[in-house]
Amino acid sequence: MSRLVVIVPLKPGARERAEELLRAGPPFELEKTQFERHRVFLTDREIVFVFEGEGPSHTLQLTGEDPALWRAAEAWQECLAERPRLASTAFSWTRTAEQEGVSFEPSPGPGDSEGGDVYPP
C-alpha cells in the first residue's frame, strides 16, 4: 500500500472554516480515483490529507485537470498560511495477523514432541 500525504498549513483562526470545507467532502469522486483509502486529520495549525492506494507511491496523485479540484483550491485559499507540501514515509509498521495453525518456530527435533523418540529402537 502506497501513500500520498499532503500537509496544508492553516492561517491562525482558520480551523472553523476548514471544518466547514471538509464537511462538504472531497471536490472529486473518490470512487473514480486510484485511491483505496482517504483520511483527513485536522489540528488548529494544519490539515493532513492521506490518500492510500496500490502501486508505487509516485503513481498516486490528484488529477490537476479536474475543474472541481481547482474550484476547491480557490475555496481553500482563504485558509492557507503557506503552500501545501508533500510528506514522505519515514517509518511505517503494520501488525501482522496471526494465522491459526501457522508457526514460524523451529520444527521439533528428536525428543521434543509428545510422540516419543523419532527413531525406532
More confident: 70 or 4? 4
Domains of the chain: 2-87 (3.30.70.100)
pLDDT at position 18 is 95
CA-to-CA distance for 98 and 103, rounded, in angstroms?
9
Confidence class for position 35, pLDDT limits 50, 70, 90: confident
Overall average pLDDT of the 36-58 stretch? 87
pLDDT digits (tens, 9 = 90+) for 3-12: 889 899 999 9
The answer to whether the CB of 14 falls within 8 A of the CB of 78 is: yes
Give the pLDDT score at 25: 87
Residues 57-83, mean pLDDT to the nearest whole number: 72
Give residue 118's pLDDT.
58
Higher pLDDT pick, 70 / 77 = 77
Average pLDDT, the chain: 80
What is the rounded CA–CA span in Å between residue 46 and residue 64?
22
Among 117, 39, 37, 47, which Cα is nearest to 84's?
47
Strand partners for 2: 53
Neighbouring CB atoms inside 10 A of 60's CB total 19
